Amino acid sequence: MNRSWNRFIHSFKYASMGIIHALKTEQNIRIHLLAGIIVFILAFIVKVSAIEWTILLLLISGIIVLELVNTAIERTVDLATNKEYHLLAKQAKDLAAGAVLVYAVTAIIIGLIIFGKAIMKYINPL
């Protein structure tokens, strides 16, 4: 194997290690992953369209990606500040967490739109 191919393969290994580390250490990413699994099960049950599947996949993967980026920002800030309090460090971490929150709320709203008819049938079966 040539050197660039070897680096390419190793990049997948390192990325996988990052995802596994986040799943082991970050509660929020586990919550989002569980929510995503539940959403996929519900989407299968209510038979959403192909476009809705695509939207749901983008939303679920997007929130997981944002959680990974948020964690990376938190780790970098902690490394740079030696966990000492700095206003800009706090703001960086709060902004990253805020991005995750905005995306999560947006995903919930879109999920309610996609599953709205099924939810209404369940609430009012007539």
Active-site positions read 67
Task: Give, in order, the Cα–Cα distances in Å from 96 to each of 13, 63, 68.
Answer: 26, 12, 10
Taking each continuous run of H as one helix and of E as one strand, the counts in the chain are 4, 0
User: For residues 48 and 1, what is the distance between their CA atoms, to the nearest angstrom?
Assistant: 44
CA distances for 29 relative to 47, 64, 70, angstroms: 26, 6, 10
d(CA 43, CA 35): 12
